[in-house]
């Protein structure tokens, strides 16, 4: 049985609305997942996340495996209880972070050998381990352990890594303990459409609760990312959720939805918030800019977030210039609200079958700066 229910399908593009049912409740898609790497979405309390509309957050298995450790989290009741978050959680598998360690990691058929970025200790994660760690964490959606592919990569390298990801995915599925947690496969394939199609077909043959596209937004031109979406999404079963990992900008979200993507995650709203870059319906705003020194307006006059309801650009600029913690807090709330509200607006537009209009207006608005 698939945990996904398709509710609306755009008549003019691949955009669609649906629901994913998990152990901790139902998620309306398309959805953006704020990133909570180390069992916290940086600078934001769980209740604030709920209030700004986050339906599900992402935790990073690699980080939690290294510190504080999945067994510690299990003994304290799982990740939900540990971090006081009652809604669904998706955990990645650690594959991307291990890949990012570069020379500190070695991939074999058996799994990934790597050194902790914290203390250099030698660690090992097999596909089975990745599942068992995520079972200990108690996330609602688990990801298979995958091998990532650098960009650019030759066809042989991409093909080898993609094939290994497929074998690991099958091992992950076999390792499941029947906890009711969902398991998603990851389509790799580099920038080779035929490898992507083939990987998708093999994963669908094995059978997962959802399918993710990995290895995109890794430095390639936007057009190439969209080409890979077009090459892959139509080959995934329409009755399963599609997740575009680690993506992206507001524009990426709109284009992803247009191409049929249901789920996204990215550090951009929170990381940019800490660096003073705010998202608005009219584009980006760099809060330290001198032009905001005396500006009594909210960041985005069309925004209903906590930050925009109560604070001026002048105050936010002051906090940022003064390196106050509250700058990170208020900016993160605003940016995450922007991302979640954008997804909600897309869900509404799809439900009313006006996603094409929505997309045109989204770009038209950006012609007037904030």
Binding site for a second copy (CB under 8 A): 38-40, 42-46, 67-68, 72, 75-76, 82-84, 293-294, 296, 310-312, 314-315, 317-319, 321-322, 324-326, 328-329
Burial of 102 (0-12, 13-18, 19+ CB in 10 A): exposed
* Active site residue ranges: 92, 265
Output the CA–CA distances (angstroms, integers) from residue 324 to 113, 308, 327, in the order listed: 40, 18, 6
CB closer to a second copy out of 162 and 328: 328
Show the tokens assigned to 41.
């979405």
Q: Would you give the DSSP letter of residue 35?
A: B
Q: H helices within the chain, ranges in order? A: 46-51, 61-66, 70-75, 79-83, 95-100, 127-137, 155-175, 193-206, 222-232, 250-258, 268-274, 306-310, 313-321, 325-351, 355-365
Rounded distance, CA 258 to CA 40, Å? Answer: 30
Residues in CB range of 233: below 8 A, 6 or more apart: 14, 213, 242, 259, 260, 261
Q: Would you give the DSSP letter of residue 66?
A: H
């Amino acid at each position: 049985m698939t945990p996904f229910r398709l509710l609306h399908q755009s008549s003019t593009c691949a955009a669609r609305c649906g629901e994913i049912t998990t152990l901790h409740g139902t998620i309306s898609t398309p959805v953006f997942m704020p990133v909570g790497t180390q069992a916290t979405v940086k600078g934001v309390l769980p209740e604030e996340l709920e209030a700004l509309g986050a339906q599900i957050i992402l935790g990073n298995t690699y980080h939690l495996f290294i510190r504080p450790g999945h067994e510690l989290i299990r003994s304290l009741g799982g990740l939900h209880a540990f971090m006081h978050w009652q809604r669904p959680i998706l955990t990645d598998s650690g594959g991307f972070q291990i890949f990012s360690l570069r020379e500190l990691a070695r991939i074999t058929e058996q799994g990934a050998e790597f050194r902790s970025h914290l203390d250099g200790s030698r660690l090992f994660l097999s596909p089975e381990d990745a599942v068992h760690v995520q079972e200990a964490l108690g996330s609602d959606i688990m990801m298979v352990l995958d091998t990532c592919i650098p960009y650019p990569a030759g066809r042989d390298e991409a093909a080898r890594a993609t094939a290994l990801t497929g074998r690991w995915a099958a091992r992950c599925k076999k390792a499941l303990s029947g906890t009711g947690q969902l398991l998603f496969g990851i389509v790799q394939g580099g920038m080779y459409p035929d490898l992507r199609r083939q990987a998708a077909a093999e994963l669908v043959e094995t059978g997962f609760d959802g399918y993710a596209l990995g290895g995109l937004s890794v430095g390639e031109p936007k057009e190439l990312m969209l080409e890979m979406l077009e090459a892959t999404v139509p080959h995934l079963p329409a009755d399963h959720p599609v997740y575009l990992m680690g993506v992206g900008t507001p524009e990426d979200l709109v284009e992803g939805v247009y191409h049929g993507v249901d789920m996204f995650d990215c550090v951009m709203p929170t990381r940019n918030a800490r660096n003073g870059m705010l998202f608005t319906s009219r584009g980006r705003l760099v809060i330290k800019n001198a032009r905001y020194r005396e500006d009594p307006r909210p960041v985005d006059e069309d925004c209903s977030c906590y930050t925009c309801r109560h604070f001026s650009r002048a105050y936010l600029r002051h906090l940022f210039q003064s390196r106050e913690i509250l700058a990170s807090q208020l900016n993160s709330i605003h940016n995450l609200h922007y991302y979640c509200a954008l997804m909600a607006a897309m869900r509404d537009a799809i439900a009313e079958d006006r996603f094409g209009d929505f997309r045109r207006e989204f770009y038209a608005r950006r012609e007037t700066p904030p």
